[in-house]
């Protein structure tokens, strides 16, 4: 097998670098596209803080902690904060009035904060995010009031420290990152694109299709089988390593069954690529068949794993 490894791997080292580079570029473009889509999904909220106290700043920071919100702060002298909503620059505009900190301590926040928002589903989500953050801000003061009613005096600072210390952390993210799944929609989509992009190998390795040399090679027992199997196994291992790298980068550990299914599908994919590369002589036909075949295999991959 050494001559075949020499021919398929070592003498084609530049082609493999170009193939890996092409795949990496595709992954980078996918990452950029995902970030743009994720940023576009975020809900823009305009905030005017007239109070400028620790409590009001803490309230704004709580809203910022949401993964689905972007905050735009406006100056105190801005008169028409609702313009951001009418101009569709924000889903929600919010004004934190002077005296917010004192009203928070007294639990008198009803009709305190002015909200201007879109009357639709996304606007409702924005209001819920603000309401949830405000309620979380109120909890220590509610506890303080109840303790005062029970004649158990505690400072608000002590209550705040105790509240944050004993608030349980969510384990949902931990479970989702550590539990091995049978499939992953995001990884399946990404790898389907990788399969399609890796079809460029029929162009990169075109020099392997030299009919005169292949005919001479055919005189030796199982020579073509060894050549084809070396090519298939090399590219299968390469694509499987790419799949594993994507899985690790996205912190989505997948089950052994997922990788075995992927291995089988990659083998089938590469067998088809070998047939096209070595048996289709017309370049235009080869490119067309590769395009259709890679697209079909990508769709099959998505159907199986989604």
The answer to whether residues 135 and 194 belong to one domain is no
**Structural domain of 184:** 2-36+180-305
Q: Please report whether residue 112 resides in a domain.
A: yes
For residue 7, what pLDDT is reported?
A: 77
| Boundary-marking domain end, from 130, 145, 167 | 167
Q: Please report whether residue 175 resides in a domain.
A: no
Q: Length of the chain in residues, anyone?
A: 306
Low-confidence ranges of the chain (pLDDT < 50): 172, 174-178
| Boundary-marking domain end, from 167, 197, 232 | 167
For residue 274, what pLDDT is reported?
A: 93
Q: Please report whether residue 12 resides in a domain.
A: yes
For residue 174, what pLDDT is reported?
A: 46
Q: Report the CATH number at residue 86.
A: 3.40.190
For residue 290, what pLDDT is reported?
A: 93
Q: Please report whether residue 50 resides in a domain.
A: yes
For residue 131, what pLDDT is reported?
A: 85
For residue 152, what pLDDT is reported?
A: 73
| Boundary-marking domain end, from 167, 196, 230 | 167
In whole angstroms, give the CA distance from residue 202 to residue 274. 8
Residue 239's SS3 state is helix
Q: How far is CA 15 from CA 22, 36, 96, 188, 230, in A?
A: 10, 32, 61, 26, 15
Q: How far is CA 82 from CA 59, 103, 116, 118, 125, in A?
A: 20, 23, 6, 10, 18
Q: Please report whether residue 250 resides in a domain.
A: yes
Q: How far is CA 222 from CA 92, 142, 187, 219, 279, in A?
A: 70, 81, 37, 9, 17
Q: What is the pLDDT of residues 7-44, one digit of tens each?
A: 788 888 899 999 999 999 999 999 898 887 766 678 88
């Amino acid at each position: 097998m050494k001559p075949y490894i020499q021919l398929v791997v070592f003498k084609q080292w530049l082609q493999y670098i170009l193939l890996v580079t092409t795949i990496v570029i595709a992954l980078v473009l996918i990452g950029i596209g995902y970030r743009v889509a994720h940023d576009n999904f975020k809900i823009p909220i305009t905030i005017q803080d007239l109070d400028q106290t620790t409590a009001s700043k803490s309230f704004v920071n709580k809203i910022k902690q949401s993964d689905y919100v972007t905050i735009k702060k406006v100056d105190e002298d801005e008169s028409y904060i609702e313009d951001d909503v009418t101009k569709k620059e924000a889903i929600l505009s919010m004004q934190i009035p002077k005296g917010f900190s004192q009203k928070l301590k007294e639990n008198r926040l009803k009709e305190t904060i002015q909200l201007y928002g879109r009357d639709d589903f996304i606007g409702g989500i924005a209001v819920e995010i603000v309401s949830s953050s405000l309620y979380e801000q109120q909890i220590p003061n509610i506890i303080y009031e109840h303790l005062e009613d029970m004649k158990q005096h505690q400072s608000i600072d002590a209550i705040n420290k105790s509240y944050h210390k004993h608030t349980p952390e969510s384990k949902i993210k931990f479970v989702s990152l550590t539990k091995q799944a049978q499939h992953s929609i995001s990884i399946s989509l990404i790898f389907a694109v990788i399969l399609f992009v890796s079809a460029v190998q029929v162009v990169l390795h075109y020099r392997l299709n030299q009919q005169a040399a292949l005919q001479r090679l055919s005189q030796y027992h199982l020579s073509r089988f060894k050549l084809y199997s070396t090519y298939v196994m090399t590219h299968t291992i390469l694509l499987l390593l790419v799949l594993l790298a994507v899985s690790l980068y996205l912190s989505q550990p997948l089950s052994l069954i997922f990788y075995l299914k992927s291995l089988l599908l990659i083998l089938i994919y590469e067998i088809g690529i070998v047939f096209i590369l070595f048996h289709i002589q017309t370049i235009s036909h080869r490119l067309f068949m590769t395009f259709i075949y890679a697209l079909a295999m990508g769709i099959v991959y998505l159907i199986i794993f989604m």
